[in-house]
Amino acid sequence: MTATPRSLELTQIAATAADAKQAENIVALDVSGPLPLTDVFLLASGRNEPQVRAIAEEVIDKLLEHGVKLLRREGLSEGRWVLLDFGDVVVHVFHDEDRMYYSLERLWKDCPVVPLTISVG
């Protein structure tokens, strides 16, 4: 299986939103093969808790503007690892230290990387 065109579009919107808040190391993985419940994991990092929260809030706002419902949110108040479940796309916004510790890229290394075009405007 591969991610749907709609999932890829939403991933791009989320990546651009994260980039607008200076997220670092933005990576998208097509997890549609091993995970039947979602198509893409989008990973992004922030340098501190307020930045992690700002990135997550911007992603939520931009996807809501595009009519995407947030199904589940975890970790926003702590600002260390925020998980945003939009159904076909799950966004993980990490504090740098937590991203290194949990190393999701290593866990999902067999999944294809989704190319992103970050357009800062």
d(CA 111, CA 113): 7
- pLDDT-derived band at 57, boundaries 50, 70, 90: very high
Q: Tell me the average pLDDT across 51-70.
A: 98
Q: Tell me the average pLDDT across 103-121.
A: 85
What are 89's two structure tokens?
């796309």
- Select the CATH number that applies to the domain covering 5-114 from these four: 3.30.460.10, 3.30.70.2190, 3.50.50.60, 3.40.50.300: 3.30.460.10
pLDDT of residue 120: 44
Checking if the pLDDT of 1 tops 90, the result is no
Domain boundaries, the chain: 5-114
Is there a contact between 96 and 55 (Cβ–Cβ < 8 Å)?
no
